[in-house]
Structure 1
Amino acid sequence: MKYINKLLLILFVFGKIQAQTQIVDITDEHLNGSNDLPYGYYFKDLYHVLDPYVGTWVFTDGTTQLKLVLQKKMSNRNNIYFEDIIYGEYQYIENGVEKVNTLSQLNENFSDCGFYTIYGNLVVLHDSPLCDECQVGEKTLATSISHSESESSGQLLLKRITVNGQPALQASMGWRLRWKPAGTVLPPNPLPARDFILLLQP
């Protein structure tokens, strides 16, 4: 009888917590990314807008290559709320030399996708400065990107396009300068701040 009472209590508490979770569509730009939300919100991909970004994407130009591997996690939990999110890792080869490769980190099972090199779920529409060349109805996914060795971080904007009938990504990479104490010497960030066109791999 004690076991049944404990089980009922656990189910009641779990149900109460679930009932208090307010679901918000991730395309609601006014709420997504806000720091003023109460604990327990769930930014859910109600209309599956993140799904087209999942996959292995490759840019190739001679002996230079950028590979992005993007995955989706449902109900990722950070310290404030739950969210559906795109996360991933990358490999960059320049003039035949591998400059950086973080793809092995996809084998890690981080509790928060913020620990991956690429992560984000901010969907911006044609009337946003982050989607400056978007037509009405088009959207861009804004994510974060980092390079640990140079302690660099930046923004990676991803827009789904079609190239010669193939699914592709227009990836715009920009990096932020970071303050470092005088005398700090770090290796340079090998990833250029530029646009790439990456094709979806089978």
Structure 2
Amino acid sequence: MKKTSIILILLISLTLKGQTIIDINDSTYSNWSNNDYNYYKKDMHNLLDIFQGTYIYTNGNTSFKIILKKMIKQPEGLHYEDMIIGEYQYVENGTEKINTLSNLDISYSNQFLKHGIAGNGIIANIYNRLWKCPQCNPNEKRLILRIRDKSTDRYANMILRRTTIDNKEVLQVKINNINGVTYDVEHESPPANFSLPIGEFTMKKL
């Protein structure tokens, strides 16, 4: 009974405690601060908005289509975050390899882990080692997300730059840094290769 009372007191105190709001553009904040985990990582300057939409890359009869959507105050562990979530369709040489677009409007308990594309990392430095961009404007913000290959459960970085080419809105995209997988070489088969497009390409907005 005493233990139950202590738990109830803790829950009430957490509920009453004011929630700290953190700008998603503030890279100095520790996501797992022991002193303040009841926080909301908010898109205070609407930096995520410009990345929303449907985009497609085509090369002959190969295409890669993504749909990105901004989500507000999504639960992420013991805190909340604004984020971009998305899904994709990949057609290779005329054959559809994977299509997760129908999952876009599913509300998962953990949006970041379950959606095919998710995240809210802001890249401000044009010479960032993740993807140097000397042609970027000094104050330009790029976005880094995580893309998960749902056919192999492997994932990679997905860096986005929103710009215009010939007066048309496009995303310049870089997919790299595929996660490594450990396995027992004597008793297990090698892990499946990441099956989504890798490298740099330009996607037109539909």
TM-score when normalising by structure 2: 0.82
Q: Distance in 2 between matches of 1:181 and 1:17?
A: 46
Q: Bigger CA drift: 128-137 or 148-157?
A: 128-137
Distance in 2 separating the partners of 1:24 and 1:64? 41
Unaligned segments of structure 2, at least 5 residues: 1-11
Q: Is the counterpart of residue 167 in structure 1 residue 169 in structure 2?
A: yes
Look up the SS of the partner of 2:102 in the other structure.
Answer: helix
Residue segments in structure 1 that go unaligned for 5+ positions in a row = 1-12
User: Paired residue for 1:92?
Assistant: 90
1:144 aligns with 2:146: yes
Q: Give 1:92-131 correspondences, 5 Å limit.
A: 92-114=90-112, 115-127=114-126, 128-131=128-131
Q: CA deviation at 1:117?
A: 1.1
Could you tell me the TM-score, scaled by structure 1's length? Answer: 0.84
Q: Percent of aligned pairs with the same residue?
A: 29
Asked whether 1:198 is paired with 2:206, we answer no
Distance 2:19 2:189 in 1: 45
For 1:124, the aligned partner's letter is I
Pairwise CA RMSD: 2.1
Rounded to whole Å, the distance in 2 between the matches of 1:180 and 1:51 is 40
**Is the alpha carbon distance of 1:142 and 1:18 closer, same or farther for their aligned partners in structure 2, counting shifts above 3 Å?**
farther
What code does the residue aligned with 2:28 have?
Answer: H
Count of residues paired in the alignment: 187
More helix by proportion, 1 or 2?
1
Map 1:1-202 → 2, pairs under 5 A: 17=15, 20-31=18-29, 34-36=31-33, 38-114=36-112, 115-127=114-126, 128-133=128-133, 134-174=136-176, 175-182=178-185, 183-184=188-189, 186-201=191-206
